[in-house]
Chain A
Amino acid sequence: MAATGLTETLDRLRKSGLTALIGYGLVGLVGVWLVVNLIKTPTEFINIGLIGLTNGAIYGLVALGYTLVYGILQLINFAHGDVFALSGLVASTMIVSVLGLEQDASVLAILGGMLVTLLVITVFFALVNATIELVAYRRLRRAPRLAALITAVGMSFIVQNISLAIYDVNFRSVPSFIPRSEVIGIGNVTYSWNKLAVLVITVPVLILLTWFVRETKQGKAMRAVAQDTEASAMMGINVNRTISVTFAIAGALAGAAGIVYLLQFNMRYDTGFELGLIAFTAAVLGGIGNLSGAVLGALVIGFIQAFNEGLTWYTPGSDWTRTIVFGILIMILVFRPEGLLGERTPEGA
């Protein structure tokens, strides 16, 4: 059996640490590539890096949603990306039609409007996501894991088609009321206000989330349920409520991500599919179930994507972005399935 032979060879390689060697070799090559590019075109390199940082922050918000849900239910919530897209679309309606924010609105109106939008959208999509869990996943908690996963794929298509039904196939955007002028500019390196806005929203959200998971009672309950559902139920934790809360938080994160994305790009009903996959890759890269891992993975993916699309020296270019992202996903699962920040089991995985 050629297949078995190969498997055994792979096994032996894994044990001898050669896979690790190949893995480090690949990482090293990427490092060399980055350094050469940095030396050749330093200003562009930094500018592109800033784009990567912005994109990575957005991916991070979405990736957190995947990782939270996975941590607690071991379910890849495929619908998450589509919830994100729908939230962005609803936010565009809210900003353009309801609040009527214009490009020349006063700073106060913009700040207030954004705050209101953020509040309404996060609360609404927290409810939406919790409802999805209630309707689609709760009944399947004891079913084979495949069943819940397949349902998640189905939910993803349903949410996507809801977006399609409401917003049709056109791209939506908001007027660029956050100026694209630079915050700081050193030489040709520029950092614009609209990029800063992404971080201004993302960083507090992350801090809030970390505080919630670490310090509050509900956050502790979440961690307990993630570790051992049955034991936590025996300790008097309301498992159903905890899972609902987790989905709600994930939904709120998706909502925030939708708004942040909208500040940078156009979006339409199927934006969430690809972005969801990228974000999931980020979550796996960081070590799924691990919150800081998700953010780290998202930043790495954001940088890799931006460098691939922006740099010039031996760069595959945007035609290959998807291949590279999924290539990373596959490599990670082959070389280090527990992710960058994950830990191996005592038995050895």
Chain B
Amino acid sequence: MTTVQERLRSYGPGALVALVVIVLALLYPQYVESLGDLPLIGDFIPALSSMVIMIVFTMMAVGLNIVVGYAGLLDLGYVAFYAAGAYTSAWFASQQFDQWTFHFGSVGISKELPGIHLSIWLVLLIAGIFTALAGILIGLPTLRLRGDYLAIVTLGFGEIIPQVVRNGDNVFGFDLTHGTFGISPIDSPGFGSVGETLGLPLNYQQSFEREQWFYWTALALLLLTVFCSIRLRDSRLGRAWVAIREDETAAAAMGVPLMRTKTWSYAIGAFFGGVAGAFYASFKSGAFPADFYFNISVFLLCMVILGGMGSIWGVIVGGMILGYLNVEGLATLGSELQQGGIDFDPTKYQFGFYGVIIVLMMLFRPEGLIPERRHKREFELGVADTPLDDVTHEGADTDREPKND
């Protein structure tokens, strides 16, 4: 057995940096206001509520990284998992199904309130599991396809699910999703009266320090995701993912079960997307079909690419940078420019901007800002990424008429 000291030493200076960052992040609510008073950069400091959104999206990016970064499967429909998570939270913690009244661990609301109201903590777990199952269902028919087909099928699912949600207000007479109006309000997390005696808020939404509590919870969820992600990467499963990513045929020859391993990456990636989606829905107290569109998937993918595919720290950095630009940065920049007399609205072109980032990164630094060692070598040396199961793709017009040649 290694002692704690030895283990700490084996992590190197990275662990110390991580620790400092975590402490600084935990204390962020304490000093955010004084940061806002700083000259020049003061306006650019993200508010606490923006930080919550940034962290939620970073969490999704870390989840997507499991699929794209570890297993090398391009998922262009991650937004579907986000939507699944958000709607799970809307189903189990709102008045959507007001034909039933069922309360379990709900906090800060009247027990007579119709609808299903489970504790949000439980809902987060349910959302994760439900989304993971959805991931398996999507994955089973599609994961045997070659990488680019998989991308397009996931994209298809990402497009189908919002439309199903939008049209889901009359599923054989049953109002499942409340159509374009979305479902709102959604219950808020809290610790109930038991927690109140310990100084924790009964219900976040009703608490005076609402944003602070949401922030800390988001941070805790992110840390949990990161922890799981690191443990997974170093596990047997994680090594199997890397093996498949680098050479599917060789991995299969070594006894790695391809389908099962890929499906797991899908399910686990989906799990975190679902939890993040459910938490976000609870934070903004609603799930609306307009929130789930293709651009979100690309936005998340851009975070992973900017940071470095497969590199957790990279993805966190990429996620926070892009999350910041999306939530606040570009808007602030726009208003600053406006004050400077330049009439240019950067938020309008934000996705063009992400497109530029994606292309530039892929061309000049495909391994990302903080590269993962192994991925970097793959980009330098190449991989054998021809799928094991494949269909032929003959050339333009194929060679079916040899008489013409």
Which residues from chain A sit less than 8 Å from chain B, CB to CB?
Answer: 1, 3-4, 6-7, 10, 67-68, 70-72, 74-76, 136, 139-140, 142-151, 153-158, 160-162, 164-165, 210, 213-215, 220, 222-227, 246, 273, 277, 280-281, 284, 288-292, 319-320, 322-323, 326-327, 329-330, 333-334, 337-338, 342-345, 349
* Cβ–Cβ < 8 Å partners of A322 in chain B: 159-160, 163
The answer to whether B391 and A342 touch across the interface, beta carbons within 8 angstroms, is: yes
Q: Give the residue of B136, B148, B382, B398 whose beta carbon is less than 8 angstroms from that of A75.
A: B148
- How far does the Cβ of B235 sit from chain A's closest Cβ, in whole Å? 16
State the CA gap A292–B148 with chains docked (Å). Answer: 22
Can you list 10 contacts pairing A with B, beta carbon distance less than 8 Å? A6-B140, A153-B298, A153-B301, A161-B351, A161-B355, A227-B395, A246-B396, A273-B294, A322-B159, A333-B142
The answer to whether B396 and A289 touch across the interface, beta carbons within 8 angstroms, is: yes
State the CA gap A134–B68 with chains docked (Å). Answer: 26
- Rank and list the top 6 A-B pairs by shortest CB-CB distance, nearest first: A226-B395, A161-B352, A157-B355, A154-B358, A326-B156, A349-B391
**B160, B348, B359, B378, most chain A CB atoms within 10 A:** B359
State the CA gap A311–B235 with chains docked (Å). Answer: 54
Within 353-397 of B, Cβ neighbours of A (below 8 Å) are at 353-359, 362-363, 366, 378-379, 382-383, 385, 389-397
- How far does the Cβ of A131 sit from chain B's closest Cβ, in whole Å? 13
What string of 1s and 0s marks CB contacts (under 8 Å) between B122-141 and chain A?
Answer: 00000000000000100011
Q: Interface SS of chain A: helix, strand, loop or mixed?
A: helix
Q: How large is the interface on B (under 10, 10 to 19, 20 to 34, 35 or more residues)?
A: 35 or more
Q: Give the residue of A7, A70, A75, A148 whose beta carbon is less than 8 angstroms from that of B259.
A: A7
**A10, A149, A320, most chain B CB atoms within 10 A:** A149
B8 in contact (CB, < 8 A): no
Q: Interface SS of chain B: helix, strand, loop or mixed?
A: helix
State the CA gap A281–B164 with chains docked (Å). Answer: 19
Given contacts A156-B355, A320-B167, A326-B160, contact A223 B395 (CB under 8 A): yes
* Cβ–Cβ < 8 Å partners of A71 in chain B: 393-397
B149 in contact (CB, < 8 A): yes
B263 in contact (CB, < 8 A): yes
B6 in contact (CB, < 8 A): no
What string of 1s and 0s marks CB contacts (under 8 Å) between B281-304 and chain A?
Answer: 000000000000010001001100
State the CA gap A42–B260 with chains docked (Å). Answer: 50
* Cβ–Cβ < 8 Å partners of A10 in chain B: 140-141
* Cβ–Cβ < 8 Å partners of A214 in chain B: 397, 404
* Cβ–Cβ < 8 Å partners of A288 in chain B: 393
The answer to whether A326 and B157 touch across the interface, beta carbons within 8 angstroms, is: yes
Within 35-67 of B, Cβ neighbours of A (below 8 Å) are at none
- In the complex, residue of chain B having the shortest beta-carbon distance to the beta carbon of A68: B396
The answer to whether B358 and A151 touch across the interface, beta carbons within 8 angstroms, is: yes
The answer to whether B141 and A149 touch across the interface, beta carbons within 8 angstroms, is: no
State the CA gap A40–B36 with chains docked (Å). Answer: 69
- In the complex, residue of chain B having the shortest beta-carbon distance to the beta carbon of A142: B382
Given contacts A3-B260, A226-B394, contact A329 B383 (CB under 8 A): no
Given contacts A147-B362, A319-B167, contact A289 B351 (CB under 8 A): no
Q: Give the residue of A70, A76, A284, A345 whose beta carbon is less than 8 angstroms from that of B390.
A: A345
Within 139-178 of B, Cβ neighbours of A (below 8 Å) are at 140-142, 145, 147-149, 151-153, 155-157, 159-160, 163-164, 166-167
B316 in contact (CB, < 8 A): no
Q: Give the residue of B260, B294, B379, B391 whose beta carbon is less than 8 angstroms from that of A143.
A: B379
State the CA gap A215–B405 with chains docked (Å). Answer: 9
The answer to whether B141 and A338 touch across the interface, beta carbons within 8 angstroms, is: no
Q: Give the residue of A7, A76, A155 whose beta carbon is less than 8 angstroms from that of B151.
A: A76
The answer to whether A330 and B153 touch across the interface, beta carbons within 8 angstroms, is: yes
Given contacts A226-B396, A326-B159, A326-B160, contact A149 B149 (CB under 8 A): no
Q: Give the residue of A139, A284, A290, A323 whose beta carbon is less than 8 angstroms from that of B397.
A: A290
